[in-house]
Structure 1
Amino acid sequence: MTHRTPPAVSFEFFPPKDLAGSFRLWDTVQSLAPLEPDFVSVTYGAGGTTRDLTRDAVATLHTASGLNVAAHLTCVDATRAETLKIAADFAAAGVSDIVALRGDPPKGTEKFTPHPDGFDNVCDLISALADTGTFNIRVGAYPEKHPEAADMAANIDWLKRKIDAGANSAITQFFFEADTFLRFRDACADAGITAPITPGILPIENWAGARAFARRCGTTIPAWLDSAFEKATRDNRADLLATAVCTELCDKLLENGVDTLHFYTLNRPELTRDVCHALGITPRVQLRHVA
C-alpha cells in the first residue's frame, strides 16, 4: 500500500459521564493527539442529554490539549436563546468550530419535535450560527438514505439546503464500503454542492455493536462482513480483521481522491491509531502537559 501524501484526519469523542469515562477520554486524546488531527469533536447524546457534559468536555479539551476542538450543537429540547447561549459560551472559551445537527429525539420518542421556542430544523440553526460570523460550521451528511428521508435525492437536497444556509463543510455518517461514499460524493457534485465532504469512518471495535448501530442509522450491512466477522470472532482474530477492513476502506477512498478522514473513535483509540499508522499517519508531536 502506498500513498503520496497521508490524509488529514479528525477524531470524534463523546463526553464522559463519570470519573472512569473522564480518564478514558483523556487517555484517548493523549493517544491520538500526536497524529496532529485537523480537529477533534465532542458529541451530544440523544435528546441533548449530554449538553452540559459536552460543553464542559469541549472547554477542558480546548484548554488542556491545545487541539482544535469542534463542539456538537443540536436543536433538541432547547429554546433558540438557550442554544445560542451555549454557542456563545463556546466562542467565549475560544472554540470557533461547531458541528451543527438536528439531533436525535429524546429516548421514548420516535420523531423530532421542535421546542415551541426552539429552532424548527437544523437549517434554521445553521443560519443563526452563520449570522454571528463567529463559527466554522460543519454539518452531517448521509451517503445512504436517512431513515426519515423519502429517497437519496431528498438526502442530497437537504445537504444542499444546509450548505446554502451557511455551513462550510460536511461529515458523513459511517458506511462499510468505499463505493457508497464515492457514489454519494459524485451525486453531490452533480447537484452543485461544492463544499468539502469528509467521509466518516467507524473502526469496528465490536461487530455486534457496530451492526446494531448500523441498523439504527440505515447503514447497509454487507453480507461478506457478517460472515467474515463470524469466522474471525470464532478464531479470536476479530481485531486483526477490523484493522484490515478499516484500512482497506480508507485506502480505497484515498486512491479515489479523498484527502481527509473523520474517525468515530468511541473513546477507544487503539484501532483508530493502528489504522492511521497503516495509512502512513505517524506521530509527529506530543500532547502538551498542563501545569
Structure 2
Amino acid sequence: MPTAAQLIRDLKQPGFSLELLPPLKGNSIKRVFSTIDTLKEFNPLFINITSHRDEVIFRNVDNGLFERKVTRKRPGTVAVAASIQHKYGIKVIPHIICSGFTRSETEYALIDLNFLGIHDLLLLRGDNSQRDKFFKPQDEGNAYALDLINQVNNLNKGIFLDSTQADAFDTPFSFGVAGYPEKHEEAPNLDSDVYWLKKKVEAGAEYIVTQMFFDNEKYFEFVRKCRAVGITVPIVPGLKPITLMNQLTVLPKIFHVDIPEAFANEIRKCKSDADVMQVGVEWTTMQARELLKNGCNLLHFYTLMATESVRRVASEVY
C-alpha cells in the first residue's frame, strides 16, 4: 500500500484530506463517523487523528482538601484510527506526540499500530501541559520532535528502547511533521523555525502539514523560505473555516495565528454565528481556490466544530 507521502506526490488532480479529534472520554465514536460520512464524498486522501496528553485536575474532597487526579480527556487515538480504517478503508494517520508520553508508552503505541497495519504517522512535539507556562517533557519522554523521529527510525530498524535487536518491521513507518507559516510560538523567528524543520526532513520526514492560517501570503512566503534552504518535500496547507464569533479572539490566542483585518472586519459586521459561518465559508473558499491555482495539489482541513463549513467549501472547490 502506498504511503501518504507517495499518495501526495502522485496526485493528478486536487486532493482533499481532513483532521479529526477522538471523542471525549466516555462519548461515542458516532460523531467521528458522522463527520466522515458528511465528507467522504470528496474522497479523502487520508484522515489525521489527533493525540492528547494527560492533564492533572484537582477535585474537592470531603475534608476540605484537594485531590490530585490525572486524566486524559480524549483517549483512543490508536483505537479510533483503527476503527476508521476498518470501517471506511481510508488511510489514517494518527498523531504521535512527545507531550505527556514516555518513550516506552510511545514504543508500545507504535508496536500496536504495526500490528494493526497502520504505518503512516504525523510526528509532533505536542502542546504544553495546561499547568505549565513552558513545555516540559514527560519524565523519560522525548523532549523534541527530532527525538521522536529518532525513536521511530530506530524502531524501523528493529532497535527497541531496551537495546533489544529484532527484525525490522515488514512495513516501516512513514511520517510527516508539522510546519508553522507564522512560526512556532517558541521559535525566535521564522528562519530559525525553518532551520529546525529542515533537520526533521533530513531525519526522514517525507511531507509537511501546516498549522492553520488565514492569510495565503504567509503560506507562500513559508514555502519560499523552505525551498530556499533545500526543503523539497510536499508542504500541505492546513485550512480551517471560522464558524463562531468568539473564534476571532480564541483562535489567535490558542494557535498563535493572525487573522487578516479584512476578514476580521467582515466577522465583526456579523449579527449571529450563522452569519459568521457564511463569512468563514466564503473566506476559506477564497483561500482554497487561490492555493489550488498556485500549484497546491492537496488541501488539508481542520474539521473541529466546522464539518458543515468544510463540506460547503469542498463543494465549491472540488
Structure 1-normalised TM-score? 0.89
Give percent identity, aligned residues only.
30
Aligned residue for 1:176? 214
Aligned residue for 2:19? 12
Aligned residues: 276
User: Does residue 102 of the first structure (1) align with residue 125 of the second (2)?
Assistant: yes
| Higher RCO structure, 1 or 2 (CA under 8 Å, sep 6+) | 1
Structure 2 distance, partners of 1:38, 1:267, is 21
User: Does residue 89 of the first structure (1) align with residue 112 of the second (2)?
Assistant: yes
Give the AA of the match of 2:277. Answer: D
Q: Using the TM superposition, give the Cα deviation of residue 88 of structure 1 relative to its aligned residue in structure 2, in angstroms.
A: 1.4
Structure 2 distance, partners of 1:167, 1:79, is 21
Report the CA distance shift for 1:79/1:235 in structure 2 as closer, same or farther (over 3 A). closer
Deviation by residue 1:45-99 (Cα, 9 ceiling, x = unmatched): 2558357321221121111121100001101222212111101111211111111
Aligned residue for 1:218? 256
Deviation by residue 1:246-282 (Cα, 9 ceiling, x = unmatched): 00011111121111111001154211111111002xx
Deviation by residue 1:162-204 (Cα, 9 ceiling, x = unmatched): 1112111110011111111001101100011011110110111
Structure 1 distance, partners of 2:233, 2:73, is 29
Structure 2 distance, partners of 1:237, 1:149, is 36
- Aligned residue for 1:52, secondary structure, equals coil
Instruction: Out of 72-81 and 257-266, give the one that drifted further.
Output: 72-81
Query: Any unmatched runs of 5+ in structure 2?
Result: 1-11, 56-71, 157-171
Aligned residue for 1:288? none
User: Does residue 126 of the first structure (1) align with residue 149 of the second (2)?
Assistant: yes
Report the CA distance shift for 1:233/1:97 in structure 2 as closer, same or farther (over 3 A). farther
Aligned residue for 2:294? 256
- Aligned residue for 2:269, secondary structure, equals helix
Report the CA distance shift for 1:91/1:251 in structure 2 as closer, same or farther (over 3 A). same
Report the CA distance shift for 1:210/1:128 in structure 2 as closer, same or farther (over 3 A). farther
Aligned residue for 2:177? 139
Report the CA distance shift for 1:110/1:37 in structure 2 as closer, same or farther (over 3 A). same
Q: Using the TM superposition, give the Cα deviation of residue 145 of structure 1 relative to its aligned residue in structure 2, in angstroms.
A: 2.3
Which one of 165, 168, 182 corresponds to residue 203 of structure 2?
A: 165
Q: Using the TM superposition, give the Cα deviation of residue 42 of structure 1 relative to its aligned residue in structure 2, in angstroms.
A: 0.7
Structure 2 distance, partners of 1:261, 1:235, is 25
Contact 2:94/2:121, CA 8 A, preserved across alignment = yes
Report the CA distance shift for 1:126/1:51 in structure 2 as closer, same or farther (over 3 A). farther
Rg larger in structure: 2
**Bigger helix fraction:** 1
Structure 2 distance, partners of 1:91, 1:243, is 38
Structure 2 distance, partners of 1:137, 1:151, is 25
Report the CA distance shift for 1:167/1:249 in structure 2 as closer, same or farther (over 3 A). same
Deviation by residue 1:188-240 (Cα, 9 ceiling, x = unmatched): 00011011110110111224225312223221122222210111335953222
Aligned residue for 2:186? 148
Contact 2:99/2:138, CA 8 A, preserved across alignment = yes
Which one of 61, 73, 77 corresponds to residue 84 of structure 2?
A: 61
1:228-243 aligned at under 5 Å gives the runs 228-233=266-271, 237-243=275-281
Report the CA distance shift for 1:52/1:19 in structure 2 as closer, same or farther (over 3 A). closer
Q: Using the TM superposition, give the Cα deviation of residue 127 of structure 1 relative to its aligned residue in structure 2, in angstroms.
A: 1.9
Which one of 26, 39, 53 corresponds to residue 32 of structure 1?
A: 39
Aligned residue for 2:51? 44
Give the AA of the match of 1:44. Answer: S
Instruction: Out of 201-210 and 246-255, give the one that drifted further.
Output: 201-210
Structure 2 distance, partners of 1:33, 1:235, is 26
Contact 1:15/1:54, CA 8 A, preserved across alignment = yes
Report the CA distance shift for 1:47/1:164 in structure 2 as closer, same or farther (over 3 A). farther
Q: Using the TM superposition, give the Cα deviation of residue 140 of structure 1 relative to its aligned residue in structure 2, in angstroms.
A: 0.5
- Aligned residue for 1:83, secondary structure, equals helix
Aligned residue for 1:284? none
Instruction: Out of 220-229 and 178-187, give the one that drifted further.
Output: 220-229
RMSD: 2.0
Structure 2 distance, partners of 1:275, 1:51, is 28
Aligned residue for 1:70? 93
Aligned residue for 2:7? none
Aligned residue for 2:162? none
Give the AA of the match of 2:90. Answer: L
